Amino acid sequence: MHSTLQKKLGILDSIHPKLFNALHVKKEKIYTEKQIGAFFVDHGVDEDVFDDVYHSFEIDVSVRKAMSLTRTSGIGGVPSMIVNGQYRTSVRNTGSFENLLNVVDHLATKE
């Protein structure tokens, strides 16, 4: 949902690295509407604009689609990859990101 929201707000290129860093490096908790809104406002997005976009039909559809895909594909964490809709693997399954990429390359070649 974050990337769709960033695209809709027109700030994907500028805010994505900051959000990635906050979530994955600093391990900040940015999960609730209030936390997400505060993050975007802190990075220059008008609060009313954020609220309008966050509650828009397009964002709602995007979130529902992502949740459905996550459930049906069995993804339990990130990074996870699905090859040709048949094979699901992750760092947890392969032991490292490098191994994950090697497995995905193998499966893609097989398909």
Q: What's the confidence (pLDDT) of residue 38?
A: 96
Domain enclosing residue 66, as ranges: 2-72
Own/partner pairs, 16-25, CB within 8 angstroms, 24+ separation: 18/43
Please give the average per-residue pLDDT across 66-76, as a whole number.
Answer: 85
In the chain, the amino acid numbered 67 is M
C-alpha 47/C-alpha 53 separation (Å) is 10
- Per residue in 29-68, pLDDT tens? 999 999 999 999 999 888 998 899 999 998 899 889 988 9
Q: What's the confidence (pLDDT) of residue 1?
A: 54
Q: State the total domains in the chain.
A: 2
Do 83 and 36 lie in one domain? The reply is no
C-alpha 73/C-alpha 32 separation (Å) is 24
pTM (two decimals): 0.64
Do 84 and 63 lie in one domain? The reply is no
Q: Are 2 and 62 in contact (CB under 8 A)?
A: no
Domain harbouring 38, CATH code: 3.40.30.10
Q: Are 94 and 77 in contact (CB under 8 A)?
A: no
Q: Is it the case that residue 28 has pLDDT exceeding 90?
A: yes
Do 66 and 19 lie in one domain? The reply is yes
Residue of 10 and 86 predicted with greater confidence:
86
